[in-house]
């Protein structure tokens, strides 16, 4: 079957041959108009192209924004997980350190009590020899008397600064012993051996802190603010 364009072109030629007034140029114009009637103009083609570009750009921007948001959320979740893991590890380490310190204090206190009991049970002795008390053994006795590890730490902070755990420490003011009682004879209310027995001094000091400040930690808070208690 002949195409419409071909038919039109042939018709134009026939017309010329039969004496028609149509010219060859007119025939060519008719054929061209038929061939390119449906082809879009350059402006229309550019508009379509620009529309595709805009759509692609918008899709890319949307995809980039979604990817960035997902990355930020992942980073936030990771940071939160890392912080929680560090917090848990710190708590575990602190708990382990406290448990070890409590056990060491308890063991030292038990050893000191056993030593004191052994010395007192020896024939002809009514009390341990004062020269046998080292700072470490005095601390162990204090840990056993005070009991609570937190309160013992506060008690220890005060004694360390007042006497350096020297139960015979004497101040020109008349203060004496581990807790620097002023005057030292106050401690006779607990025992006549207050000059030579750290346990007597510790019991008096603990009672003083509890009566005046509510606890060794209360006394330590006051000491920190005033450098005395």
Within a domain: 106: no
| Side-chain half-sphere exposure of 106, counting CA atoms within 13 A | 9
Within a domain: 132: yes
Higher pLDDT, 43 or 102: 43
Judged by DSSP in three states, 176 sits in strand
Q: Look at residue 85 in the predicted model and tell me its pLDDT.
A: 85
Buried b or exposed e, range 113-123, using 16+ CB within 10 angstroms:
eebbeeeeeee
Judged by DSSP in three states, 38 sits in coil
Q: Look at residue 188 in the predicted model and tell me its pLDDT.
A: 96
How many domains is the chain partitioned into structurally? 1
The answer for 174, left when phi > 0, alpha when psi is -120 to 50, beta otherwise, is left
Q: Look at residue 130 in the predicted model and tell me its pLDDT.
A: 45
Could you list the residue range(s) of the whole structural domain that residue 139 is in? 118-226
**pTM of the complete model:** 0.46
Within a domain: 130: yes
Higher pLDDT, 208 or 18: 208
- Residue 107: pLDDT band (50, 70, 90) is low
Q: In the 8-state DSSP scheme, what is residue 41?
A: P
Within a domain: 181: yes
Within a domain: 199: yes
Phi, psi of 158, deg, nearest 5: -70, -50
């Amino acid at each position: 079957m002949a195409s419409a364009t071909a038919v039109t072109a042939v018709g134009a030629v026939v017309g010329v041959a039969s004496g028609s007034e149509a010219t060859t140029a007119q025939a060519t114009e008719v054929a061209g108009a038929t061939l390119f009637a449906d082809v879009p103009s350059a402006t229309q083609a550019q508009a379509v192209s620009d529309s595709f570009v805009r759509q692609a750009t918008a899709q890319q921007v949307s995809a980039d924004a979604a990817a960035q948001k997902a990355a930020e959320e992942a980073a936030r979740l990771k940071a939160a997980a890392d912080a929680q893991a560090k917090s848990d590890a710190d708590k575990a380490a602190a708990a382990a350190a406290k448990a070890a310190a409590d056990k060491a204090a308890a063991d030292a206190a038990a050893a000191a009590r056993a030593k004191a009991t052994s010395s007192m049970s020896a024939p002809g002795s009514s009390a341990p020899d004062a020269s046998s008390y080292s700072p470490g053994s005095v601390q162990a006795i204090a840990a056993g008397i005070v009991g609570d590890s937190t309160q013992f730490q506060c008690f220890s902070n005060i004694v360390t600064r007042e006497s350096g755990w020297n139960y015979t420490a004497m101040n020109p003011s008349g203060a004496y012993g581990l807790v620097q009682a002023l005057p030292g004879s106050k401690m006779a209310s607990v025992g006549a051996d207050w000059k030579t027995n750290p346990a007597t001094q510790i019991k008096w000091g603990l009672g003083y802190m509890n009566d005046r400040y509510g606890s060794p930690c209360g006394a330590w808070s006051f000491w920190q603010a005033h450098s005395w208690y």
